[in-house]
Chain A
Amino acid sequence: GENVEQHPSTLSVQEGDSAVIKCTYSDSASNYFPWYKQELGKRPQLIIDIRSNVGEKKDQRIAVTLNKTAKHFSLHITETQPEDSAVYFCAASKTDSSYKLIFGSGTRLLVRP
């Protein structure tokens, strides 16, 4: 079955710097890759997603890139702010044959003021 690996497990950056979180997936048939942000004690919330027919997607300070050949996708946060501090989860799914969303293990991002 699908396996999603996420790195790093923790990431500390200075406010204003960029943060990059990387994920790899095992099933080449996966075609949907969302990213969720979970603040302490709160629910996971979708922040951005990308489908396999697109290489990059951007929404203000966040962007996601996808390399289908290498089975990698990454989350990029620019001009980080303290409110970006949270746990970020990547996930992968094959939406044309299954609705199982397989999550990575999460990255705890700390933005230092």
Chain B
Amino acid sequence: DAGVIQSPRHEVTEMGQEVTLRCKPISGHDYLFWYRQTMMRGLELLIYFNNNVPIDDSGMPEDRFSAKMPNASFSTLKIQPSEPRDSAVYFCASSLGAGVEKLFFGSGTQLSVL
């Protein structure tokens, strides 16, 4: 298995533009998590899904952020409109059956909003 796959690896955009980050979890995993990592705030949970259903989105910073999981093998995190303070590394992670136990992280997307 190739592990959790995220795209793009790097994204540079201008303030006000829409940004879409993509994630393919490990095949068979039923939990998917989106995390954001910054120097100031560390690793923060944004939202997680179980069997494609959003369970807890209380970490989503504001309405500009939205996430979807249309099927078991694909999820997106969208920021519209983007702002410079959204600059961070966004990680997707997945696990099987046990929620946060044995989380496997993707390589992350480095987002820079100018």
The chain A residues found within 8 Å of chain B, CB to CB, are 32, 34, 42-46, 49, 89, 91, 93, 95, 98-106
Contacts and interface: CB of A to CB of B under 8 A. Distances in A.
B42 A43 contact: no
A43 B106 contact: yes
28 contacts: A32-B101, A34-B101, A34-B103, A42-B107, A43-B91, A43-B107, A43-B108, A44-B91, A44-B105, A45-B105, A46-B103, A46-B104, A49-B101, A93-B99, A95-B99, A98-B56, A99-B48, A99-B50, A99-B56, A100-B45, A100-B48, A100-B59, A101-B33, A101-B45, A101-B100, A103-B44, A104-B42, A106-B42
Contact of B42 (A42, A46, A98, A105): A105
Contacts of A102: 45
Contacts, number: 54
The range of chain B's interface size is: 20 to 34
B43 A103 contact: yes
Closest 7 CB pairs of A and B: A99-B99, A43-B105, A103-B43, A101-B100, A93-B100, A99-B100, A105-B42
